[in-house]
Structure 1
Amino acid sequence: MHQPTTEPRASIYYDYRIHQPWLPTAHPRDARKPVVIVGAGPAGLVAALGLAAHGVPSVVLSAELQVSQGSRAIVFTRRSMEILHQAGVARRVVENGLPWRFGNSFYRGQRVFRMEAPHEEDNRFFPMNNIQQQYLEEYLLDACAASPLVDLRWGNKLERLEQDDKIATLTVDTPAGAYTLQADWVVAADGGRSGLRSQLGLQMEGASYEGFFVIADIRIDLPLPTERLAFFDPPWNPGNTILMHREPQGIWRVDYQLPPGETPEEALRPESLKQRIDAQLAMIGHAGAPWEMDWCSVYSARTLTLPDFRHGRVLFTGDAAHLLPIFGVRGANTAFQDSQSLAWHLAFVAKGLAGESLLANFSAERVGAAREIIEEAGKSTRFMTPPSRGFMLLRNAVLSLSLTQDFVRPLYHWRTSRPHEYSGSALNSPGDDNALFRCGPAHGAPPQDVRLGPDDHLLDHLGPGFTLLYAAAGEALPAALRDALATQRARGVPLKVIAVGQPGPVAGADACVADAQGRLRERYGMATPGAAYLLRPDQHVCARWVTLDAQRLAAAFVAALPQ
């Protein structure tokens, strides 16, 4: 029988809660489930909340009885915050996290590069927000607990999966013994050491880089702003790189590269950790400052992905689907985009609104995103951890020149994680006016947020299903267009119509955005009445028109929901 630990994990700032295990002996025999999600980390919980938003229930299996150990992912990008906003937890992250937008690179005591992430009045969220993963998991768990469509089962460990072309059968072990669970679909969100990936015999493609890094979270009072700090080739760690981040609760992340040949066991000895952290604090002018260790770990940089995220009835997301280096905060941020995309694709298939070919599109889009990220992450990784003598010579030349030459300094840029644009998606409408627009988000792009009032943004108005932004003129949408919208709704497609540019009710629209200053219409190129955007449930653009009519709208839905 599976016996997860009932001892709360140790932490000097976070109180771990032990949840009661879900026991088969205390529940009636399960009926077949639409979706079972293996893994209750951020990727699995975002997928569960996304499915619930579409009315699809899921069972979430967690082998543990508490949230993850250590701070783990701590930096969440603006796009991740927009996804968490859709999931209903972004406000808690804003209230408790640390926003920032600047990054600094140092060499020989000199700041040689300062990154400034764009931040405009229209943006609800900062480019980056720091908060420990335990808090984020807590917020997501609270949202799941509030949903009657999410059945979270603590202390339930997947032991075996069998599947055919119609059903998946899972053997799940618990403290009260094993039970069998049948599901139409299984989501593999079980992390970098995915047991489902191993059971299916799947191999990732890509590269693993030699060398190890230590992550150490320490409590210390440092009079420094919330900005990323990177130190190259410091005297106490020659040839290597050190990163520092501020976290909530008075915690600082110190992330340093190990010299060749040193093992993780040697690196995590208390005397080794103390010596190196003391040396780093001395280098930044805080020698002797008292500090206390909370958590530490060792990792290596890898750029790997599955070539296909669907395998029969199993769909992969997050670290179970790909492994990315932390340089550029790519891991959890990419996982959020995976799970947001997975949730709507799977929900529409589960509800019969599209054929299973829609799942092939999920895989194609997210594998494409992973490969794009791997290409960029590889550049950052080779600069941070040169894998050969040639790369080391090149990196050292950049370091040396950057002391006096401005033109090389942008090479320090760490290529922060950014949302993927599905410009080549099969779901994009082939007969729209995408090429005629001179501004606004194009095919496959996420939305550009627009500030509409003191605490009112465009993203607040987007629905969980498809959203049509329509530049209205008058008190009603054209009759033929209303009929076309009614046709989609009649077959069950969740669809919200927002009339832009009208202060009062508009017949055929679910909501109105007055856009009194014309800012939304200007940014989206919707200057003339009848201009429109169709956003998918993950908020990415799948069609846009200079002038929308009923026939073109119907064609867009044929493309977006293949049967």
Structure 2
Amino acid sequence: MHTPVTVPRQSLYHSYTVYPHTFPSDPARSNGVVTIVGGGPIGLVASLILARHGIKNIVLLSEQQVSEGSRGLVYTRRSMEILKVAGVADRIMEKALSWTSGNSFYSGKRVFRMENPVDPQDSYPPLNNLQQNHLETYLVEEAARQPLIELRWGNHLTSFSQDEHEVTLVVDTPEGEYTYKTPWLIAADGARSAVRQSMGLTMEGNSYEGRFVIVDIRIDLPLPTERLAYFSPDWNPGNTILLHKEPDNIWRFDYQLPAHVSNEEALDLQNINQAVNAQLKMMGYEDKQWELDWYSVYSARALTLPEYVHNRILFAGDSAHMLPIFGVRGANTGFQDVMDLCWKLAATIKGWGSSYLLNSYTHDRVGAAMEIIDEAGKSTRFMAPPTDGFRLLRDATLSLSLKHEFVRPLFHWRTSRAHVYRSSPVNSIGDDNQDMIPELENGAPIPNLKLSGKQYLYDELGLDFNIVYFGNEESLPDSLQKEVNELRSQGVPFKVIVLSSENTATAGADKTFRVDAQLLQSRYGASQGQVYLVRPDHHICGRWKKYVPGSLENAFQKFIKKSA
């Protein structure tokens, strides 16, 4: 019998709630079209986005409270855009600490400063710090308000089987086991995914020897919100220390372990105290009082499943891939997973999306993971050199950086960003992509745009397919209107937005916004009659200098279900 911990977790800053466990009144009956295994940020965001698509879902949460500690701490602008879709971004920004810069130090000298640009047309800052327990609480409270979501606390998946039509689950609870069937299962159960292990699936990529201890402490430090990296300090020679400021006067220390130190030694409280005190002394704050909140240990890994779609079982987040945290890639990559997955799964469930469309989830997101593994591998080999050779190169770079400017960009940690699906199976074939500005190639996220006040283009896009039309005509081309209406009749959610330098209304459009012509040209390379086709996850999948009749039909023919 499953027995989750029912004593609230201890924290210096977060008040934990223990939620009542769930045992369904009619276990064999399920109202959820999708079951999500895992109640961390990825599973909860998937649940909320599916609900926004109108899909009922059940979330199985093995515990009865949210997770402990800061864990996934830094959320990128792209993640905030996705969390806005999930319904929690505004609340996050009330609490989060935003930042744009990071400093790297060696031998007491700052050797590199990284600056993330701030664009007034974007709705969120580049990087935002918030502890995962706060984030999960916001997500849980938002999910509890949604009639299409059922949270099942204290429900632990013990076994499952699938056929061509559904997945049969055996779930253990404090009241015993029950069985039910679900048409679809999303495995968002983390790095130690029981679903992945039960299916015997193996990941591809690299594991690194570098291990880090995470320590959250409460301390008052007179420092701005920036990412700080210290290379090979005297108290931890040859290793790396990272620092982040968190809300609630909490600071996070990530310090690399020497190879000979075991995890058990690393998590000994006396050793943790010595490490924190040594770092504070090096920074000149040895007289500051501090309190320990939470600590853990992790290893740098760069691994992914080669396939994320396994018939009726779909993988997302750390169950699908395990990525080094350098460059804030963990949860941020998982959010992009579910933003891509949910619209494709919703299209499949609603009947207009083909199996080709759902299978494109693997292509798009495995491609993203492989790109991240390549980039993160470079960062990881610099932060935590895996061999003597890499360590020699890293140490040479550190030494040269004290006097030579040209080596300092090697400290750049390649921050997580939205992936460009340039080879996506969903991209249009035969459009004008090759003849338009390369920055907005097919697969790229369409740039956001401040329309007025607190209103942004992304708020208007919603979860539909969108035609973004640039022009001052009084009416959309008849052929474009006809093709949009035909797709709508087949169940495809569609919206047409016109960005015009002269008009505030366009016949045939859902919305028209008047925008300065120079801004439209600089941001989109816009010209009269230009058309962008944007996926429900904000990525461009087709573009034309002038609309040609039949273009939408051609763009959708690959992945729309013919019988729809």
CA distance in 1, matches of 2:55, 2:146: 11
CA distance in 1, matches of 2:269, 2:287: 17
Q: Could you state the TM-score of these two structures normalised by the residue count of structure 2?
A: 0.97
Over the residues paired in the alignment, what is the CA RMSD in angstroms? Answer: 1.4
CA distance in 1, matches of 2:3, 2:271: 34
CA distance in 2, matches of 1:440, 1:296: 42
Unaligned ranges ≥5, structure 1: none
| Amino acid paired to 2:38 | G
Q: 1:2 is matched with which residue?
A: 2
CA contact (8 A) 1:440 1:523 kept: no
Deviates more, 1:235-244 or 1:437-446: 437-446
- 2:33 match: secondary structure: strand
Residues 470-502 of structure 1 show CA distances to partners (whole Å, capped at 9, x for unaligned) of 124333222222111111111111111112115
User: Are positions 1:120 and 2:129 aligned together?
Assistant: no
- 1:507 match: secondary structure: coil
| Amino acid paired to 2:51 | A
Q: 1:83 is matched with which residue?
A: 82
Superposition deviation, residue 439 in structure 1:
5.8
CA contact (8 A) 1:43 1:318 kept: yes
Residues 338-392 of structure 1 show CA distances to partners (whole Å, capped at 9, x for unaligned) of 0111111111111111111222110111011101100111111111111111111
CA contact (8 A) 2:50 2:346 kept: yes
| Amino acid paired to 1:30 | R
- 2:45 match: secondary structure: helix
| Amino acid paired to 1:402 | S
CA distance in 1, matches of 2:316, 2:80: 18
CA contact (8 A) 1:112 1:403 kept: yes
| Amino acid paired to 1:104 | N
| Amino acid paired to 1:128 | L
Superposition deviation, residue 520 in structure 1:
3.0
CA distance in 2, matches of 1:518, 1:67: 48
- 2:183 match: secondary structure: strand
Q: 2:333 is matched with which residue?
A: 334
CA distance in 1, matches of 2:105, 2:94: 31
CA contact (8 A) 1:102 1:228 kept: yes
CA distance in 1, matches of 2:270, 2:204: 38
CA distance in 2, matches of 1:511, 1:457: 13
Superposition deviation, residue 521 in structure 1:
4.6
Q: 2:146 is matched with which residue?
A: 147
CA distance in 1, matches of 2:199, 2:559: 30
- 1:347 match: secondary structure: helix
Deviates more, 1:283-292 or 1:545-554: 545-554
User: Are positions 1:266 and 2:270 aligned together?
Assistant: no
Q: 1:57 is matched with which residue?
A: 56
Superposition deviation, residue 448 in structure 1:
0.9
CA contact (8 A) 2:20 2:64 kept: yes
Q: 1:511 is matched with which residue?
A: 511
User: Are positions 1:356 and 2:358 aligned together?
Assistant: no
CA contact (8 A) 2:351 2:561 kept: no
Residues 417-442 of structure 1 show CA distances to partners (whole Å, capped at 9, x for unaligned) of 11110001111111211112126521
CA contact (8 A) 1:220 1:291 kept: yes
| Amino acid paired to 1:18 | V
Superposition deviation, residue 143 in structure 1:
2.0
CA distance in 2, matches of 1:306, 1:28: 32
CA contact (8 A) 1:32 1:184 kept: no
Q: 2:128 is matched with which residue?
A: 129
> What does 1:469-548 align with in structure 2 at a 5 Å threshold?
469-501=468-500, 503-528=503-528, 530-548=529-547
Superposition deviation, residue 453 in structure 1:
2.5
Superposition deviation, residue 110 in structure 1:
0.1
User: Are positions 1:277 and 2:280 aligned together?
Assistant: no
Q: 2:287 is matched with which residue?
A: 288
CA distance in 2, matches of 1:228, 1:29: 50
CA distance in 2, matches of 1:75, 1:143: 21
Q: 1:305 is matched with which residue?
A: 304
CA contact (8 A) 1:197 1:320 kept: yes
- 1:196 match: secondary structure: helix
CA contact (8 A) 2:471 2:527 kept: no
Residues 521-563 of structure 1 show CA distances to partners (whole Å, capped at 9, x for unaligned) of 54112221x2111110111000011111331122112245365
CA distance in 2, matches of 1:30, 1:242: 51
Superposition deviation, residue 263 in structure 1:
1.0
Q: 1:175 is matched with which residue?
A: 174
| Amino acid paired to 2:159 | R
Q: 2:19 is matched with which residue?
A: 19
CA distance in 2, matches of 1:147, 1:518: 42
CA distance in 2, matches of 1:291, 1:507: 63
Superposition deviation, residue 140 in structure 1:
1.5
Q: 1:217 is matched with which residue?
A: 216
Unaligned ranges ≥5, structure 2: none
Aligned-pair identity in percent equals 53
| Amino acid paired to 1:150 | I
| Amino acid paired to 1:108 | S
CA contact (8 A) 1:278 1:288 kept: no
User: Are positions 1:206 and 2:198 aligned together?
Assistant: no
- 1:217 match: secondary structure: strand
- 2:68 match: secondary structure: coil
| Amino acid paired to 1:160 | S
Aligned residues: 561
CA distance in 1, matches of 2:258, 2:485: 65
